[in-house]
Structure 1
């Protein structure tokens, strides 16, 4: 669904940084057509080319023209080093980065316009969401003065949809290839006033826990809030 969000805005070239369970991602895409179309297999016989079975597909089939490159970037590799391994496939222009663990009804066209206007090296999408716990405040003697059930957090959180200029890769290669992106590279970009925040006030939901997965399933069944395609 994350890829479909990008595709809805005309971005159909994907480079996936594979790590844990990367084989499952490869298998999904390699078997995608077989699993979604009517399939006839011609078992290999003497007349078969190269002695291999042949597949033919039938039935209706419509899909956006995706180009998916899958790169094994290791199990414990930091994000900056993962990005560096993807560089040969990124081309020479600006590029989006998504963590792949959250969906949103984000307008990527507006994000790109915002990025172009400010002219800085990097844009990070910020989101707001409610605390998973209630908030309680009390005075010195313990008398409760405020009681709120799961209030909205008073700060922005990295929503995992980012846009970078190509110079970002040069920066990683020269100075940060062994560093962590979030704790080293991004704070330095901020200090250089080269990092901007795009505020997304719409739907956003991650899928890190079983609770998250159940919420996403329920949200999708109700009104598909992140379906922008």
Structure 2
């Protein structure tokens, strides 16, 4: 199944300074960029045909794969001056690179690559700055069984903030952790059918326009992942990028890069 990755966002919230021009998908987790981890997640479930919707920072992403170093994360042997890999990361991947514009909303980016997925009954899509341990193939099976036009992964609120209830006079009447509210967030992982392509219009947004219409028609399915209160705590034996948030924090449900964007900030991803 093809995987469309929206990787053209400016990444303003992840920059260390005004001079930091690295796009969000290329921020490092360990010794590999975020987009690599996202693609490896899909490849784990057998989905290795990728369409990258490029925009801001396209050159960084292109050059990374054009000069990809397999030896960085794989064992190898040097013999007679030649490198012999003992295993490979991406040799069986197909990656299509498409410039979809620097300012394009998500729906427009998808519209511009629709020719690459138009023949597929279903395809996958992702913001390219989201990590998860969700059982992707189970989600796909669920969507097919329900006959839904599309699905989105939904997760409990990931914020550690609190909501405060105020009286008219300004008195605090209640304090509730956001994580305990009966609401769900868009987790960023989509299973989409060809029907979605027919709803795309110029400069539309995938969530606020297309998904909202499907929801109103009863054609959108939300796959709940990780019930509130069951979030795992990284152990000290975990890799360093699982314990620190200086770059990004993969979480059990939906680990977005350190200052995680909400849906309303994703129109130009």
**TM-score band w.r.t. shorter chain:** 0.7 to 0.9
The answer to whether the 8 A contact 2:151-2:222 is kept is yes
1:215 to 215, 230, 245: 245
Task: Trace 1:120-199 onto structure 2 (pairs within 5 A).
Answer: 120-137=148-165, 144-148=172-176, 151-172=179-200, 176-199=201-224
The answer to whether the 8 A contact 2:153-2:223 is kept is yes
Match in the other structure for 1:61 = 87
Instruction: Give the superposition deviation at 1:225.
Output: 4.9
Secondary structure of the 1:177 match is coil
Are the structure 2 counterparts of residues 59 and 154 from structure 1 closer, same or farther at C-alpha, using a change threshold of 3 Å?
same
Match in the other structure for 1:84 = 111
How far, CA to CA, are the matches of 2:193 and 2:246 in structure 1? Answer: 32
CA displacement, residues 96-126 of structure 1 (integer Å, 9 cap, x when unaligned): 0001111111110110111011102111111
Secondary structure of the 2:245 match is helix
Instruction: Give the superposition deviation at 1:171.
Output: 2.7
Instruction: Give the superposition deviation at 1:152.
Output: 3.0
56-65 vs 180-189, which deviates more?
Answer: 56-65
Are the structure 2 counterparts of residues 122 and 33 from structure 1 closer, same or farther at C-alpha, using a change threshold of 3 Å?
same
Q: What's the TM-score once normalised by structure 1's chain length? A: 0.73
Q: What's the TM-score once normalised by structure 2's chain length? A: 0.63
Are the structure 2 counterparts of residues 39 and 157 from structure 1 closer, same or farther at C-alpha, using a change threshold of 3 Å?
same
1:104 to 132, 147, 150: 132
Is 2:46 the partner of 1:19?
A: no
The answer to whether the 8 A contact 1:135-1:151 is kept is no
| Bigger Cα Rg | 1
The answer to whether the 8 A contact 2:71-2:85 is kept is no
Match in the other structure for 2:66 = 30
119-128 vs 136-145, which deviates more?
Answer: 136-145
The answer to whether the 8 A contact 2:196-2:210 is kept is no
How far, CA to CA, are the matches of 2:134 and 2:99 in structure 1? Answer: 28
Match in the other structure for 1:47 = none
Instruction: Give the superposition deviation at 1:130.
Output: 4.2
Instruction: Give the superposition deviation at 1:217.
Output: 5.6
Q: How many residues align?
A: 199
Instruction: Give the superposition deviation at 1:88.
Output: 2.5
The answer to whether the 8 A contact 1:131-1:153 is kept is no
